[in-house]
Structure 1
Amino acid sequence: MTTVSIHLDRAARMPLATQIYRAVRDAIETGRLDPGAKLPSWRDMAAQLGVSRGTVRVAYQRLIDEQFAVGAGAAGTRVAEGPSPSSAPLWPPDVPPLPELFHTYGTPPLPFQMGVPSQDAFPFKLWSRVFARAARRAAALPVSYPDPRGDPQLRKEIAAYVGIARGLRCSPAQVFIAAGYSGAIGLAVRALQVEGSRALIEDPSFPITRKALDLASITVTAVPVDAEGLDVASGVRRAQDAALAIVTPGQHAPLGMTMSLSRRLALLAWARRSDAWIIEDDYLSELQLTGRAAPALASLDHGGRVLHIGSFSKTISPVLRLGFVVAPIELTGRFGDVCACLAPAPALALQGSVAEFLREGHYIRHLRRMKRLYASRRQALLEGLAQVGSESLKVEATAGLAVIVSTKASLSDVEIARRARSFGLAPSPLSQWCVRSQPWQGLLLGVTNLDTRRLAQYCRQLAEAAAQ
């Protein structure tokens, strides 16, 4: 019989039976009690600890219920057979995913950081009221499963919005709510059943998209872009068997050009001819800082080959993790099944708050304010870079919500970005967006979170990071 050293704290709020159970379990898990070892009887353990036999019985019964021990009747209680502690795997380190792309999660955005809206201009008070009302409505709903495709009111509002702002006529039945862009791309890949196929992507392109395709065992063929967007003819020559193309025709990510009408028509013709699919990543929607945004590619699609993906991460907040897919009519049944079984829509309170934000006109007014703010901050950044006059940084273009600067070939953009982090700046290396063997060297400087009062300091620090 094995003895177990147990110290009971009779002044603690934890029941004595629980203390005994935890002490014995700890001895088993740490290897101080071997598999098959016989535990003291109820009577002996009770006498040893000065408690009742009923208290020991409760502790032993919990060990048996949780399969740490085995009761053998009159033969007593023994430690259950199991792997030895030395053979048990160690807990893995808690390493955040994609550290090369996301330095931190859940922290305020830094100057030059890409992919996030303005922190200081977010309408906190308005959003708090909207969200509180939506939360109360969600709390009062029947305790039954909600529509996995998404809140009907939100789907209705999105269908109306994309019809007006993106020229895309669709029914709410074609709209499916997902957990941000990542959830939307996962939903689309599953519904299209293109795992293991080949896809055309832009070069450069969003790293998350490439990683998502890799996880789905989809072989990627990178296609160069020029002033008109994706070179469709080049893509067709490179991968005639492609089942899918993923593009950012509204504002190319990250270079910012709009896909020309001729290229759009060529891409649609290829999809019809090849029985292939097109995923349109409309990541900025109508949030274009100069001029009017071109209509969605899906607005030209009369053959049911384009899936339109949108997100509220860059227009409202990535905290929402709320995106959507507008699917061709013929695919709505399958999309609904995938939502029901594999990718149901996020929490109703979040969906309800965005639905009200759209319905009451707050979203349109917010976008208008952000356009003016971001345009002003972009201009201030261009002026700040010009005043610094660094030989290591050369402004190449403005693109979307960023300014693109090239860097000296003698120093990698990844190293410059690492140095900039020491100043509390977060530029994105352009090379991480490229697929080509000799990627472009440069930095993407997000304009959304710039304090114009400190902009001269930011530019000097960035120039210092880029200097030899």
Structure 2
Amino acid sequence: MAKRVNAAPILQFDLGRYDGPVYQRLYLALREAVLEGRLPPGSRLPSSRALAEELACSRNTVVTAFDQLHAEGYLDRQVGAGSFVSKILPEELLVARPQPSNNARKAVAPRSLSPRGAVLAASRPLAAVAQARHRAFLPGLADPEHFPFDLWSKLLTRTWRRPPQSLFMHGHPAGLPALREALAAHLIRARNLDCTAEQIIITTGAQQALALAAQLLLSPGDEVWIEDPGYPGLRGPLTAAAAVGRPVAVDAEGLSVAAGRLRAPKARMAVVSPSHHYPLSVVMSLSRRLELLDWARQHTAWIIEDDYDSEYRYAGRPLAALQSLDSPQRGGAGRVLYIGSFSKTLFPSLRLGYLVVPADLAERFVAARHALDDHSSAITQPALAAFIGEGHFATHLRRMRKLYGERQAALLRIAGERLADLLEIKPDEAGLHLVAGLGAALTGRMNDQQAVAAAARAGISVDALSRYYLEAPARQGLLMGYAAVPEETMAGACDRLAKSLRESLRS
């Protein structure tokens, strides 16, 4: 069989056309020859020694040019054979390929996910973020317009104008010590928690806090009581931990422990929002709290207390946290882990929350946090520590509590005038939204999801209560957020909502 010979071409180019050192000019000349096709893919270049003699330059100059072309993908080297022009050039890799048609996409079998991945990928977000400023009546949205951003900017600048070297390094897995100290003092004072800074772990929000707790305290297949209806965002972390959520009915006193015992008698955890249930706004009674704690003690189970918006209470003092009844120092069994977030009290993009764990678990939780994702961003933690520690947080909460209380009263008054036969809205002692039942004009003629669609046609954002149920909805209604809606815009929004609902009834 004849031996295949790929002879090196004779290169003819004028290096004087280019600027720079000789190796740079040679690199540019060779690259141009490749791109113009004068050196086609697969062709062999002269040896570095032969090319150096031809160009009357040093061999190192040629080797340097070859090295750069090889590093950028223009040349391939074959041991014992020499250097060859690559068959696939870098420019080809950068060219955008036409996307396959819809028909072609359908012909390709979808890639499979794990069972857990499929559940997570199928989850739907709640109401979309409002595109317009103060869009009524998006639930769960606080008003960022009244946050003291000038003060916040000064606190950020105080740290980052001349930051200490420690802030450039990896932070503590549990968060900035100054923030944990300030937060512990606030929780003891405002929520009656029994905790120290060492028990607090700073997270990116409530969902990461629950994810950490679920991964450390649950085994795959463990059952967990979850409120039905309840906040869907807390289901994902349980699914990711391979736990099995068991919906448990919520009545006028909160999650029904009796129903939970029947539904999942061997459950290892309960996730509850006792101070202000989402979305029904129920407050768990003292007798129900004690019953839940007794269940956890009997079954060595865990309770996750989601205290997402207890700061916004408009009648009387905020209720003490469930964790305060379970402290070992106060005679409890230490089965409650407390979760909080700054999404509602400050602003969602801050992406900071926290988890308060029993003292005997703190060291192991910190080690696990380090193993999973090291630590939360330290960019805003010093400013938040100062914001809390210097009293600005408490001042901000008092101001917003007054504003949101006034806006709730305004919505009740205006909706009572303009939506009386369409929606039944009752006051709430806390929170950022009201639950509106379907009124006489809608009952039996429209469900809550149809009402949501009608509201959307009028540019109004509300959410259907039925979407929060895992099982058959026991109630129909609309969640109407008021916190981010200025009073002067409420009348017009209620008028548009009423008009759209009546038009939908006629169609």
Q: Which residue of 2 aligns with 1:57?
A: 66
Matched, 1:277 2:284: no
CA contact (8 A) 1:393 1:405 kept: yes
| Aligned-pair identity (%) | 34
CA contact (8 A) 1:109 1:119 kept: no
Matched residue of 2:379: which SS? helix
Q: Which residue of 1 aligns with 2:456?
A: 421
Q: Which residue of 2 aligns with 1:286?
A: 311
Q: 2:83 aligns with which of 72, 76, 79?
A: 76
- Call closer, same or farther: CA 1:324–1:229 in 2, change over 3 Å: same
Matched residue of 1:421: which SS? helix
Question: Equivalences for 1:82-121 in 2 at 5 Å?
Answer: 100-104=125-129, 110-121=135-146
TM-score (norm 2): 0.76
Partner AA of 1:77 in structure 2 = F
Q: Which residue of 2 aligns with 1:231?
A: 256
- Call closer, same or farther: CA 1:327–1:425 in 2, change over 3 Å: same
CA contact (8 A) 1:279 1:306 kept: yes
Q: Structure 1 residue 166: deviation in Å? A: 0.7
Matched, 1:41 2:71: no
CA contact (8 A) 2:408 2:427 kept: no
CA contact (8 A) 1:397 1:405 kept: no
Structure possessing the higher radius of gyration over alpha carbons? 2
Partners of 2:437 and 2:231 lie apart in 1 by 19
Q: Which residue of 2 aligns with 1:447?
A: 482
Q: Which string of whole-angstrom CA distances, capped at 9 and with x for unpartnered residues, describes residues 229-268 of structure 1?
A: 1111111111011111000001111111211111111111
Q: Structure 1 residue 110: deviation in Å? A: 2.5
- Call closer, same or farther: CA 1:252–1:42 in 2, change over 3 Å: farther
Q: Which residue of 2 aligns with 1:6?
A: none
Q: Which residue of 2 aligns with 1:132?
A: 157
Partners of 1:261 and 1:24 lie apart in 2 by 80
Matched, 1:263 2:267: no
CA contact (8 A) 2:130 2:138 kept: no
Q: Structure 1 residue 144: deviation in Å? A: 3.1
Q: Structure 1 residue 164: deviation in Å? A: 0.9
Q: 2:362 aligns with which of 313, 332, 336?
A: 332
CA contact (8 A) 2:127 2:138 kept: no
CA contact (8 A) 1:181 1:324 kept: yes
Matched residue of 2:421: which SS? coil
Q: Structure 1 residue 201: deviation in Å? A: 0.9
Q: 2:380 aligns with which of 325, 329, 350?
A: 350
Q: Structure 1 residue 441: deviation in Å? A: 2.4
Q: Structure 1 residue 424: deviation in Å? A: 3.6
Q: Structure 1 residue 438: deviation in Å? A: 3.5
Q: Which residue of 1 aligns with 2:407?
A: 377
Partners of 1:331 and 1:313 lie apart in 2 by 26
How many residues are matched?
A: 435
- Call closer, same or farther: CA 1:135–1:439 in 2, change over 3 Å: farther
Partner AA of 2:312 in structure 1 = L
Partners of 1:445 and 1:203 lie apart in 2 by 19
CA contact (8 A) 1:138 1:348 kept: no
Partner AA of 1:402 in structure 2 = H
Matched residue of 2:460: which SS? coil
Q: 2:398 aligns with which of 368, 374, 380?
A: 368
Partners of 2:337 and 2:190 lie apart in 1 by 17
Q: Which residue of 2 aligns with 1:174?
A: 199
Partner AA of 1:38 in structure 2 = G
Query: Greater shift after overlay, 239-248 or 214-223?
Result: 214-223
Q: Structure 1 residue 279: deviation in Å? A: 0.2
CA contact (8 A) 1:258 1:294 kept: no
Q: Which residue of 1 aligns with 2:265?
A: 240
Partners of 1:280 and 1:40 lie apart in 2 by 70
Partners of 1:225 and 1:139 lie apart in 2 by 49
CA contact (8 A) 1:42 1:53 kept: no
Partners of 1:194 and 1:24 lie apart in 2 by 59
Matched residue of 1:435: which SS? coil
Matched residue of 1:270: which SS? helix
CA contact (8 A) 2:272 2:304 kept: yes
Matched residue of 1:440: which SS? coil
Matched residue of 2:151: which SS? helix
CA contact (8 A) 1:109 1:449 kept: yes
Partner AA of 1:61 in structure 2 = H
Matched residue of 1:176: which SS? strand
- Call closer, same or farther: CA 1:258–1:343 in 2, change over 3 Å: farther
Gaps of 5+ in 1: 4-8, 28-32, 47-51
- Call closer, same or farther: CA 1:23–1:121 in 2, change over 3 Å: farther
Q: Structure 1 residue 141: deviation in Å? A: 2.9
Gaps of 5+ in 2: 1-5, 10-16, 52-60, 106-120, 327-331
Partner AA of 2:353 in structure 1 = G
Partners of 1:243 and 1:257 lie apart in 2 by 24
Q: Which residue of 1 aligns with 2:436?
A: 405
- Call closer, same or farther: CA 1:57–1:42 in 2, change over 3 Å: farther
